Amino acid sequence: MGIETDTACHARKVDQLFGAIASRYDLVNDIQSLGLHRIWKRHVVALSNFSEGETGLDLCCGTGDIAIGLAKQGGSLVGMDMNRPMLQQAARRLAKRGEYRVNLAQADALKLPFGDNSLDLVTIGYGLRNLASMEDGLREITRVLKPGGRLVILDFGKPANHIIRSVYFLYLAGMLPVFGWLCCGNASAYAYILKSLKKYTAQKGVTSVLRFMGYKSVQVIELMAGSMSIHIAIK
Ligand SMILES: C[S@@+](CC[C@H](N)C(=O)[O-])C[C@H]1O[C@@H](n2cnc3c(N)ncnc32)[C@H](O)[C@@H]1O
């Protein structure tokens, strides 16, 4: 039997976690954010400027919120995720809307099945924080983006204000596992959000890495006092 690498072990745990909550993922998102995640994802779609003739990838697409929004803008879009149950939810939602312009595919964000410089747009919502290595994920995204291509990232952030950050972390630590337990019988999957956020360098770290990687322009939009952030970067 082979020895599992740290990266493979991390991916397997994340895969199991999302597999366990896939059927209730959308419900818990609505509850935990009071529906606000829908507005933040609409911002992502609007900021993406996806248009006819372009090729795009919604990476870590999950149940497909961002992919569904982008599909309405035109362009040829792939929704990609490593987790089959999450992709099955996305497929169901797309079919219900009669939306057949999105191709769904199962793949690892750290090994994207695209050629170099091949995509006009990559979006990733609440995905980067889940990767075994944010830097490797961003390197892989950068490889597949065309020069001038756009990367739009939405994820949890870390508020700069210490009081707001403490209150926010208390909410994530106290309430999210309760919602997870009530809706999915799974508290630990939702306790994972704060754990992963503490390890994640969030808006400041992502900005530094994107600048270091040579992106022509990197813009950060902070939402809710920095508890969420959107990056828009041009390669
Ligand atoms: C928090 S969900 C976000 C789903 C969706 N983008 C949204 O905003 O609602 C994170 C998704 O990332 C996927 N994911 C995590 N690690 C991944 C990896 N290495 N490769 C591909 N997908 C991954 C998970 O399976 C999960 O569906």
Q: Would you write out the chain's pLDDT as a tens digit for each of its 235 residues? A: 466 799 999 999 999 999 999 999 999 999 999 999 999 999 999 999 999 999 999 999 999 999 999 999 988 999 999 999 999 999 999 999 998 889 999 999 999 999 999 999 999 999 999 999 999 999 999 999 999 999 999 999 999 999 999 999 999 999 999 998 999 889 998 999 999 999 999 999 999 999 999 999 999 999 999 999 999 999 9
Extract long-range pairs of 163-172: CB within 8 Å, 24+ residues apart: 164/225, 164/226, 164/227, 168/227, 169/194, 172/197
In a domain, 146, yes or no: yes
In a domain, 73, yes or no: yes
**Whole-number pLDDT of residue 101:** 87
Distance separating alpha carbons of residues 28 and 34, to the nearest angstrom: 9
What are the b/e assignments for 182-199, b being 16+ CB within 10 Å?
ebbebeebbbbbbebbee
Q: For residues 64 and 93, is the Cβ–Cβ distance under 8 A?
A: yes
In a domain, 166, yes or no: no
Q: What's the per-residue H, E or C state across 91-110?
A: HHHHHHCCCCCEEEEECCCC
Distance separating alpha carbons of residues 220 and 232, to the nearest angstrom: 6
Query: Ligand 1: does its nearest atom lie under 6 Å from the Cβ of 155?
Result: no
Ligand 1 center to residue 62 CA distance, Å? 5
Query: Ligand 1: does its nearest atom lie under 6 Å from the Cβ of 126?
Result: yes
In a domain, 186, yes or no: no
Give, to the nearest 10 degrees, the angle between helix 162-184 and helix 6-21.
Answer: 60
Pocket residue to mutate for ligand 1, from 13, 21, 81, most atoms within 8 A of Cβ: 81
Q: For residues 21 and 41, is the Cβ–Cβ distance under 8 A?
A: no
Distance separating alpha carbons of residues 89 and 21, to the nearest angstrom: 11
Distance separating alpha carbons of residues 60 and 62, to the nearest angstrom: 6
CATH of the domain at 107: 3.40.50.150
User: Given the CA of residue 108, which atom of ligand 1 is nearest to it?
Assistant: 20
Ligand 1 center to residue 73 CA distance, Å? 22
Work out whether strand 76-81 and strand 55-59 pair parallel, antiparallel, or are unpaired: parallel
In a domain, 167, yes or no: no
In a domain, 185, yes or no: no
User: Given the CA of residue 110, which atom of ligand 1 is nearest to it?
Assistant: 19
CA distances from 18 to 108, 136, 167, 180 (A): 14, 21, 26, 12
How many structural domains is the chain composed of?
1
User: What is the layout of strands, in order, in the sheet containing 102-106?
Assistant: 102-106, 76-81, 55-59, 119-125, 145-156, 228-234, 217-223
In a domain, 184, yes or no: no
Query: Ligand 1: does its nearest atom lie under 6 Å from the Cβ of 102?
Result: no
**Whole-number pLDDT of residue 2:** 61
In a domain, 206, yes or no: yes
Q: What angle do CA 194, 169, 139 make, to 5 degrees?
A: 45
pTM (2 d.p.): 0.96
Q: Compute φ and ψ for 196, nearest 5 degrees.
A: -70, -35
Residue nearest to atom 11 of ligand 1 (CA): 60
Ligand 1 center to residue 161 CA distance, Å? 28
Domain carrying residue 230: 6-158+201-234
Classify residue 179 by burial, with Cβ atoms within 10 Å: 0-12, 13-18, 19+.
middle
**Whole-number pLDDT of residue 95:** 94
For 43, the token pair is 């911002």
Residue nearest to atom 15 of ligand 1 (CA): 130
Closest CA to 131 of 110, 111, 152: 110
